[in-house]
Structure 1
Amino acid sequence: MAFDGSADGREALAQAQGLALSCGATVHLLAIVDRTESMPVGEAMSFVVSDAQRLAVQAVIDEGVRRLHHAGCSTMGAMKYGRPSEQIVLAARDMNADLIVIGHRDQGTLARWLNGSVGETILHKPPCSVLVAVKPENRADNVSPLERLKTKETQKTS
């Protein structure tokens, strides 16, 4: 499962959790540091990932692993570097995955054209089935960040 910690990613995490629990599957969380968004260095234009960026991505992985372990899922987390769509497909191929789970970020046509779509790119040559997790419109956001949950609990007691 590709996980970036966003609201869309947390929805995908919740759906992957439900599937994993129902069939006893192991969830492999994958967070990708996109080198195109990293800092260019020198004339060779190699890219350097800052320690802060690496720590932030590791925190996202750790959050996802904690949530899945707490729910009773067998989980592993990994960080990869490169283009997200390529790294997701390579990782799924390498581990002989049965399913790729990704979130869906609603973008307009222009934004999708400029930024591309990870999900759409994965669908061109997937090594297995792909679940694009979308939150139903009539359901409340039940996958809030931990910090937000603590804030709501604090407000109730005030």
Structure 2
Amino acid sequence: MLLVYDGTLEAQAALKRCSQLSVALSAHVDVISVVDSITANATCAGMLSDLACSSMEAHAQHALDVAVAHLVNLGVTAHGFIKFGRTVDVVPLHVTAFHADIVVIGHRVQSGFARWWGGRPVHLDLAERLRGSAIVTVTAPLS
């Protein structure tokens, strides 16, 4: 099982669902946190600083540590990986290398301008790229 985790509310909901699934299935979990400096660099017109990249990596490492610790506290065998690149590119590579049958990912429901500007949701691209893996898309509960 593979959990894509970035610390957002949606990722926290995905972590909870992944925890339930992994305990029920006695499954090992790989957790990846993605540092997407490619998209960040494009967003800021190529002016992304080294400090910003380091900050992104530190944030990803912290999020990864939190998720792995949560799973380990539940008795789940979990390993964390920092990946660099676009999520839609690095997830299929990890799935292929480690043979993950289930991919759990959080999804933020967007509306209006954010939907147009933000582009296509990652889970839709993953559905086209991942053959033979189930994708569990989790949204944050409404407050």
Question: TM-score, normalization: structure 1?
Answer: 0.76
Amino acid in the other structure paired with 1:80: K
Q: Deviations over 1:18-38 (max 9, x none)?
A: 110011101110111112214
**Cα distance per residue 1:42-72 (max 9 Å; x no partner):** xxxx985632221111010000001111111
**What residue number does 2:125 align with?**
121
Give the 3 Å change call, closer, same or farther, for CA 76–105 of structure 1 in structure 2.
same
Q: Which has the higher contact order (CA 8 A, sep 6+)?
A: 2
- State the partner residue of 1:66: 69
RMSD value over aligned CA atoms?
A: 2.1
Q: CA, structure 1 residues 94+123, in 2 after alignment: closer, same or farther (shift >3 Å)?
A: same
Total equivalences in the alignment: 134
* Identity, % of aligned positions: 25
Q: Which amino acid aligns with 1:21?
A: V
Unaligned stretches of 5+ residues in structure 2:
none
Among 6, 10, 17, the alignment partner of 2:12 is: 10
Give ranges in structure 1 of 5+ residues lacking alignment. 141-158
Please tell me whether Structure 1 or Structure 2 has the larger radius of gyration of its CA atoms.
Answer: 1
Equivalent residue, structure 2, for 1:156: none
1:99 partner amino acid: I
Runs ≥4 residues deviating over 6 A: none
Superposition pairs for residues 5-84 of structure 1, below 5 Å?
Answer: 5-35=7-37, 36-38=39-41, 40=46, 48=50, 50-84=53-87
AA aligned opposite 2:128: H
